[in-house]
Amino acid sequence: MPKSDDVDGAPPGDEVALRVLSASDAEAALPGLGSLLADVVASGASVNFMHGFSAADAARFWRGQLALIAEGQRILIVAMRGEDIVGTVVVTFAHQPNQPHRADIGKMLVHSSMRRRGLGRRLLTAAEEAASAAGRTLLVLDTETGSAGHALYAACGWTEVGTIPGYALTPDGRPSGATIFYKEIAGA
């Protein structure tokens, strides 16, 4: 995974570096992680939370992920613009004995000020590379039907399995479908 380079279409000086955070790094970054997640929810992304979700609520969510990161069950990749966290993606390794080849992709978040610049594609590629390096060959995710994420995953070669109507509520309370995707990749 590249340590740093420009985001497609970003103005000069607006470079974004991708980085894997250890559990201790993630703990130190809780305020920034929380701020990003709160921004994404406030801008309408359906990522499990409802409007009114605060940065403090979001920091508590991320704190709950630290043990799994420390145990090596999750990889947290962040996008940094200077000192600010402007994107995340989480790779969660399947723990079932009959699924040592599988991982889930989640918390694919891009700050509202950084969208439409190629950052989501970079984060997704980094997640695929991290999963491959860990020997995983099948990736699975779900996303809000018709969302920007839906279009991104389709454009990045993921296979759409189907849609579950009314699966979750959007942050403003409307029912929305979830589309399931998978991608087969080469393992290390």
Confidence band of 6 (pLDDT split at 50, 70, 90): very low
- Summarised one tens digit per residue, pLDDT across range 71-123 is 999 999 999 999 999 999 999 999 999 999 999 999 999 999 999 999 999 99
Task: Please check whether residue 142 is in contact with residue 180, taking contact to mean a CB–CB distance below 8 angstroms.
Answer: yes
How far apart (Å, rounded) are the C-alpha atoms in residues 140 and 127? 12
- 105 within some domain: yes
β-pairing verdict for 17-21 and 74-81: antiparallel
Total structural domains in the chain? Answer: 1
Please give the average per-residue pLDDT across 151-175, as a whole number: 96
- Summarised one tens digit per residue, pLDDT across range 25-62 is 999 999 999 999 999 999 989 999 999 999 899 999 99
Q: Assign 6 to helix, strand or coil.
A: coil
- 13 within some domain: no
- 1 within some domain: no
β-pairing verdict for 138-144 and 102-110: parallel
pLDDT value of position 43: 92
Given a cut of 80, whether residue 188 has pLDDT beyond it is no
- 8 within some domain: no
Integer CA distances (angstroms), 119 to 23, 78, 146, in order: 23, 11, 19
